[in-house]
Structure 1
């Protein structure tokens, strides 16, 4: 049994983005980076809040600090923080504390 080497030539069109499309992608990337930095700055400000205020929004100081440590400088931690606060709010609605 012989094995022959075959090459498949695919005639796929090579698409090149126009200058306008490339500039649009660059601007979108820079805008996303700017928004991530702004949200990270906001989360840093949230970390400076009083413990009672953090508890009112469903967060604790270690939650915010751990999230800031676990994400990079260009990452947007606000979505994770929002999910955490929302899940804590849902838990408190399901299991109300006895007053």
Structure 2
């Protein structure tokens, strides 16, 4: 018998997940959803700050509104606020270095 005639059968079926693996995946999803809601509540609290306080942390009212409008209900708007604050900080640092 030649080697080309031999067929090697591999069992490539995906293994079923155990109960503990499914439980961990469920808790991870739940933790992610809870984190998004917690961040949304914290960002809502930022609306109570005045414009000077927002400027101190590198944000503006327009940034808060844009973060909520750009994200869906289950998306975390804090990522967009972080990017806005970092970009504003980089621009301010760049202006200081030019002076």
Q: TM-score, normalised by structure 1?
A: 0.80
Give a deviation string over 1:18-49, Cα, whole Å, max 9, x none.
Answer: 01100100000000110111001111111221
Moved over 4 A (4+): none
- Contact kept? 1:40, 1:78, Cα under 8 Å: yes
How many positions carry a matched residue from both structures?
A: 88
CA distance in 2, matches of 1:11, 1:28: 30
CA distance in 2, matches of 1:39, 1:52: 22
- Contact kept? 2:40, 2:76, Cα under 8 Å: yes
CA distance in 2, matches of 1:58, 1:13: 51
Q: Does 1:40 align with 2:40?
A: yes
- Contact kept? 2:59, 2:84, Cα under 8 Å: yes
CA distance in 1, matches of 2:64, 2:33: 21
SS of the equivalent of 1:59 reads: coil
CA distance in 1, matches of 2:83, 2:62: 16
Root-mean-square deviation (CA, aligned residues, Å) is: 1.7
Structure 2 unpaired stretches of 5+: 1-9
- Following superposition, the deviation at residue 11 of structure 1 comes to 5.0
From the two aligned structures, give the one with the greater helix fraction: 2
